[in-house]
Amino acid sequence: MTTDAAAHVLDQARAWLAQDPDAETRAELRTLIDEAEAGSTDAVTELHARFDVRLAFGTAGLRGEIAAGSNRMNRVLVSQAAAGLARFLVNHATIGEAPSVVIGYDGRRNSQVFATDTAEIMAGAGIRAILLPRLLPTPVLAYAVRHLHADAGVMVTASHNPPNDNGYKVYLGGRDRGSQIVSPADVEIAEEILLVAAGSSVLELPRAGFETADESVIDAYVDATAAIAPAPRAQVNVVYTAMHGVGWETFARAVSAAGFDEPHVVRAQIEPDAAFPTVAFPNPEEPGAMDLATDEARAQQAELVIANDPDADRLAIAIPDAAADGGYRRLSGNEVGLLLGWWAAERNAAGRAPGDGTLACSIVSSPGLAAIARHYGLHFSNTLTGFKWISRAPGLVFGFEEALGYLVNPDDVRDKDGISAAVAFLSLASELKADGRTVADHLAAFTETFGAFASSQISIRVTDLARIASTMQRLRDQPPSQIGGIRVDRIEDLADGFGGLPPSDVLRIQLTDGSRIMVRPSGTEPKLKVYIDSSSDEGGVAERTATAAASVAALDAGMRELVG
């Protein structure tokens, strides 16, 4: 660390401090600057971590820890992002028409502040800015972009990230139909943001008054969500948790409008709480996150557990299982996705011409959806990870990815939607109960109809991102010839694009027994992720299940040795 480097980062920090409108982050940064000026090497190191790079704006928008600095989420960074997005919208606006944007926010720390800053700066740039009336789920914002015919949407949320994170998701209307941004829009917006950052202080950005949407937007979303479910033939005993997020009010209204009884709730997790006090990570996929829900389910003898993540764009399901710890088993994202895909294909077959429609999932999700599409004569689309890609599949009927994301109502919402997916799954459970069957019975019927599709995931959280890059490079430079005793047939590197897919840092390993392994860095968290899938259609349900599970277990053990 040189004196010149320390002096440079101190200059950057002082310039940032001069334009920071937030008293908390300003005080935090002032302390770091004072300590660095007094000779603290730790303070200088921390300033380098905050200012040597900038939190990148990409196809996931922005997401990071709330703190002062260009590599953190804060009011300066959000103001620059809002101004850059405003410039992009003005540049792409129809001549003579003012573009419009609708803005939503969840219950995380600073979400409302970031949303209000965005609305004021957008309005100051001559854009019609509409702020949703209160903290709401991400799917409501995604719906509002289309419902209000907005040119863009912004959702302030970090979804299921740790408590001190926040984020900034951007959607585009018009020909993008309310989907999240993809290239080249993300690159163009990022360039505009950098131009703003290189220019004047954010304190000099013009601001103006904005509109606040009325409750009719939420009413319309609730009506559209309830309409996906037929009137229930049987009521299901349900426990619901919002995971300290914003899902409960909207979900409860949709359930009631669809004709279902109100679920039992996990009281300790039902109200928004930015501290997420009962969970280490507010993500239903994480070990222990659904323990309170399954405790409540046992007390209520529930037939179904429904969980949303904090912004309610994801859905987790648990069902009774005597063999499981605690008496309930959380279904994997693939299991839920395949059951909802089957549900959607059957509904589609009843209402459309044969072959009219597409089922879509990400490349890391179960190949079982392709089997459903073949069975019903539907098109199948395999996309890169993220609903920004899934939502763009032509003729989309249903889409999912294994990370608990499901798109069941593409006519109204072009993003994953944990509330409409929960209503759909509840409707499925109701139909099964009316016929004297359970979700577990339906999983066995799926295996009998389409084959057994087993999967597992290895998720390695790191503190040093270089570890992820080095692991990916090692797999490219020294490709394995066998994994878990199963020979590798070929490795497909998606870095330069493959099979019509855009370039992506993903390795697809095809095994000689028909199994598949995907390896990729997470797009939203400091993790290396490995996805393993195998299938079998030989023999009865038990034999198919055992064969697929054995293959996955061998590959899982082999990959843990390889990347662990």
Question: Any idea which residues carry the catalytic annotation?
Answer: 159
DSSP one-letter string for 183-215: TTHHHHHHHHHHHHHHSS-GGGS-----EE--T
DSSP H helical ranges for 169-279: 185-198, 216-226, 247-257
> How distant is the alpha carbon of residue 339 from its chain centre?
20
Which residue from 528, 423, 428, 409 is spatially nearest to 474, judged by alpha carbons? 528
Q: What is the rounded CA–CA span in Å between residue 373 and residue 358?
A: 8
Residue 33, amino acid: I
* Full 3-state SS string of 414-473: CCCCHHHHHHHHHHHHHHHHHCCCCHHHHHHHHHHHHCEEEEEEEEEECCCCHHHHHHHH
Please tell me whether residue 526 adopts helix, strand or coil conformation.
coil
Q: How many CB atoms lie within 10 A of CB 395?
A: 15
Q: Are 154 and 103 in contact (CB under 8 A)?
A: yes
Q: Given CA atoms 412, 381, 453, 330 in this order, what sign does their dihedral have?
A: negative
The angle, 0 to 180 degrees and rounded to 10, between the axes of the packed helices 138-147 and 418-434 is 100
Which residue from 107, 121, 134 is spatially nearest to 214, judged by alpha carbons? 134
